């Protein structure tokens, strides 16, 4: 195990997959520096992903112009415009960092539980990280499946060639 997984943090793909596994998170890394580097890369990647949660618009205040209801309506109108402006101007980088921090504060998942089911239940809470997880946790830990495919393909090609050779 130590020869195969030694310095897992040096392989960015494996490090990010381990960090996004709720059973390991920080436990997969030997020191704080590599942990911070990995979660910084995840935050950057998550910031590039759309959260998928629509920006909530404040409902329009009806009848402001024609109602003549006084200063209260104008104040609330101004307030709604300001709130709508701040909601639209959200910073995806800050949102991603907050998502990563909240994820790190969650307790570790017991090792016998399924991390994919955990992520499925937490997708609304961590929209960016759950999309990133779908890309990162599909990493195959060994090359055996691909070696089997190459081997089987070689057998098929060999059989076809033997059938195509002209008989003497």
Question: For the chain, what are the domain ranges?
Answer: 2-55+91-138, 57-89
Mean pLDDT of 91-113: 91
DSSP characters for 32-94? Answer: HHHHHHHHHHHHHHHHTS---PPPPPPPPPTTHHHH---HHHHHHHHHHHHHHHHHHT--HHH
- Within 10 A of 162 (CB to CB), how many other CB atoms are there? 8
pTM across the whole model = 0.59
> How confident is the model over 23-36, as pLDDT tens digits?
989 888 888 888 89
SS3 9: helix
SS3 122: helix
pLDDT at 52: 57
pLDDT at 129: 92
């Amino acid at each position: 195990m130590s020869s195969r997984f030694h310095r897992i943090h040096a392989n960015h793909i494996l490090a990010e997959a381990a960090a996004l596994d709720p059973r390991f998170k920080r436990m997969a890394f030997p020191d704080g520096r590599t942990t911070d580097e990995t979660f910084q890369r995840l935050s950057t990647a998550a910031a590039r992903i759309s959260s998928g949660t629509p920006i909530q618009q404040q409902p329009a205040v009806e009848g402001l112009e024609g109602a003549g209801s006084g200063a209260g309506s104008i104040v609330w109108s101004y307030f709604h415009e300001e709130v709508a402006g701040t909601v639209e101007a959200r910073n995806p980088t800050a949102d991603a960092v907050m998502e990563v921090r909240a994820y790190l504060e969650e307790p570790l998942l017991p090792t016998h539980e399924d991390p994919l089911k955990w992520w499925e239940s937490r997708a609304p809470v961590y929209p960016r990280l759950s999309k990133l997880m779908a890309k990162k946790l599909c990493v195959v830990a060994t090359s055996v499946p691909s070696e089997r495919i190459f081997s089987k393909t070689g057998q098929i090609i060999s059989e076809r060639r033997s059938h195509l050779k002209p008989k003497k």
